[in-house]
Amino acid sequence: MKHIIPNIQDWPIYKLSERRQQFIQEINTATFQKLNRLSNEQLKDMVERTLYSESSRVKNDPWEVDPPNEALFWNKLKRRLEEEVGTNPNHIEYRVLLEEILRTIINRYSQEIVGSFRMKTFLFARKFLTVFFNVIFNPLRGKHLLSFWTSINYAKEKIRVIGPLDTIRQLAKDQILVLTPTHSSNLDSILIGYMLDMKTGLPGFSYGAGLNLYNSGIAAYFMNRLGAYRVDRRKKNLIYLETLKIMSHLSIVLGTNSLFFPGGTRSRSNHLEKNLKLGLLSTAVDAQRTLSEKKEEKKIIIVPLILSNHFVFEARSLVEQHLRQLGKEKYSRSKDTSKGFWNGVKFVTSFFRVDTEAVFSMGQPMDVFGNPVNVDGRSVDHRGHEIDISGYFRINENIVTDPQRESEYTKILADHIAEKYYKEHVVLDSAMVAFVAFQYLLNRFEELDLFGVLKLNPKTLVFNESSLVEGISQLKSLLVQKTKEGSILLDTHIEKMEPEAILISGMKKLGVYHRNRPLIKNKKGLIISKDLKLLYFYHNKLDNYGLQDELYWKRILSFERPQVQLED
């Protein structure tokens, strides 16, 4: 798709990167001014807490990506402060020392956080990712290896974007976009970036990447040059968090499109996120107030983004983490039988045999208060009347900063985004099959709790095909109705499919890259699971809608029942 800003050098993220050092100085100044309002005792306490937490981090939780002089840096600052312990906290020289240490820490953080955007790297990544996603989304059957390097059509065909894209493209010409995607995989940032470039024609976005991802030299090289800023979730002290938030705030105010994962981290359970993190999200509200103070005509437009796909590469490790936290003493980790030479060969060759896709649902644009925004960038109420959003920040006709009030605005915005996640989530056939299959087990063995079901021996467990077809038939009818009501989106082609076809198609796509597939037909034509935990993981995408309570399980379970045994 044609880019709305054809020249990359005109993209806001490129312009911001060209003045990186100046941007860092602006972050340093703004963060220092905010934190330096503290009293001497408060400032001393904040600095001491930061030095203690950082010294502990370096000692107990070091990463390869940490600078080689990390321990030396923090120990040096700690010694400087300790040398002045006996000094009167109210003495002017002690305040000067605290301020000097504060400035040093802020600059350390801002230099680490702020990334860059290099045009040559971006153009190379565009070509490389085309090949990468050609391999992932397309089977080799009927093609040769060279074809992946000579065509860009394969991947583009298998990445679908639905929603008001024309409106979003029009808004992006004059407004500032903040994209808020769901998050389930480390691949999400790369896939979303590729989708935005190739399928929407929007200029590059600034996005946060966990510092742990930079442990890989190759990944660090690209992310450092593709607009990513670094987020270190080990650092929870106030100085770091304020530096990060002010970086985001200033970036948005300067007109850079931004991408936040409001869930904060990957969804370990694969449920759609509900309880969103407010930290970076609050910077969008702060930035809108700043623009209103400056009487800027630009508005910050929030666009929820829901990713639906048939597989998550890290699903096995994610569900293990989720179940360990959920079950505690009830949970016993099963052996990973997917290792071994021949299983590895099967995994590699699967890249050239499967056919899959990813679907992106772009939600209706809204302002930072959750009001719908029309194509002209005007906020409107439920009657279609225009709203002057600067009024949200006014007290006695003056725009003022009110942290408590803006905190409530951020919570309201988070609720609106979470609501959009559920209403504009596109249901794929693989999700339907996984949901019905695992709910079938929960209802068939109702005497067992979740962990009891997960202990069922998949080697002796057979799913009744007629039961699954009946369950899918009922679920399809429910989803068609809920799509009409606007509470979910059923993938368009599924409505025309028979339940038997949905089962076949869904099983074929479900968890396509896992060595142990969640649901397959074996050589005898029986439907089995090679990994019940993966089946549970993919089932969870539809779990929070309450659909299981609307299915007629007596009818579903009226067919022949399987015989199973519990693992020892």
Q: Which residues pair with 181 in a beta bridge?
A: 305
pLDDT tens-place string over residues 437-446: 999 999 999 9
Query: Is the CB of residue 544 less than 8 Å from the CB of residue 274?
Result: yes
The answer to whether 180 and 417 have CB atoms below 8 angstroms apart is yes
- pLDDT surpassing 90 at residue 222: no
Q: What is the pLDDT of residue 329?
A: 65
Closest CA to 248 of 11, 19, 27: 27
CB 179 within 8 A of CB 200: no
pLDDT at 223: 77
pLDDT at 343 over 80: no
Residue 85, pLDDT score: 62
Residue 347's pLDDT band (boundaries 50, 70, 90)?
Answer: very low
User: By the 8 A CB rule, do 163 and 361 touch?
Assistant: yes
Tens-digit pLDDT profile for residues 124-175: 988 888 888 877 776 554 445 455 444 555 677 889 999 999 999 999 999 9
Sequence length of the chain is 568
CB burial of residue 328 (10 Å; 0-12, 13-18, 19+): exposed
pLDDT above 60 for 393: yes
Position 382 scores a pLDDT of 85
Residue 21: Cβ-neighbour burial (10 angstroms; 0-12, 13-18, 19+): exposed
Q: Does the pLDDT of residue 350 top 60, yes or no? A: no
User: CA 461 to CA 405: how far, in whole Å?
Assistant: 55
260/258 Cα distance (integer angstroms): 7
Q: What CATH number was assigned to the domain covering residues 162-311+358-423? A: 3.40.1130
- What residues contact 12, with CB distance under 8 A and at least 6 apart? 203, 254, 255, 256, 257
| Residues ≥6 apart with Cβ < 8 Å to 530 | 458, 516, 517, 518, 520
Q: Residue 543: which of 370, 326, 365, 317 has the closest Cα? A: 326
Q: How far apart are CA 266 and CA 334, in angstroms?
A: 22
pLDDT of residue 87: 61
Angle at 108 between CA 104 and CA 114, to 5 degrees: 135
> Whole-angstrom Cα distance, residue 229 to residue 211?
9
* Per-residue model confidence (pLDDT) at position 129: 83
Q: Comparing C-alpha atoms, which of 549, 520, 512 is closest to residue 437?
A: 520
Q: How many CA atoms lie within 13 A of 6 on its CB side?
A: 1
167, 365 contact by CB (below 8 A)? yes
pLDDT for 210 = 84
Strand ranges inside 317-439, DSSP E? 358-362, 379-380, 386-387, 394-395, 398-399, 426-427
- Report the C-alpha gap between 109 and 116 in whole angstroms: 15
Tokens encoding 241: 């968090």
Distances (CA, A) of 201 to 13, 192, 204, 205, 529: 15, 12, 9, 12, 41
pTM value is: 0.90
Highest mean pLDDT of the ranges 206-210, 222-226, 358-362: 358-362
- SS3 category, 342: helix
Burial of 8 (0-12, 13-18, 19+ CB in 10 A): middle
For residue 357, the model assigns a pLDDT of 87
The β-bridge relationship of strands 206-210 and 258-259 is parallel
Task: Indicate the range of 5-14, 251-260, 467-476, 559-568 predicted with least confidence.
Answer: 559-568
Separation CA 6–CA 91 (nearest Å): 57
354: region left, alpha or beta (phi > 0 left; psi from -120 to 50 alpha):
beta
Share of the chain above pLDDT 90, in %: 74
Residue tagged 């080697």 (tokens): 459
Instruction: Tell me which H or E stretch contains 14.
Output: helix 12-18
pLDDT averaged over every residue in the chain: 89
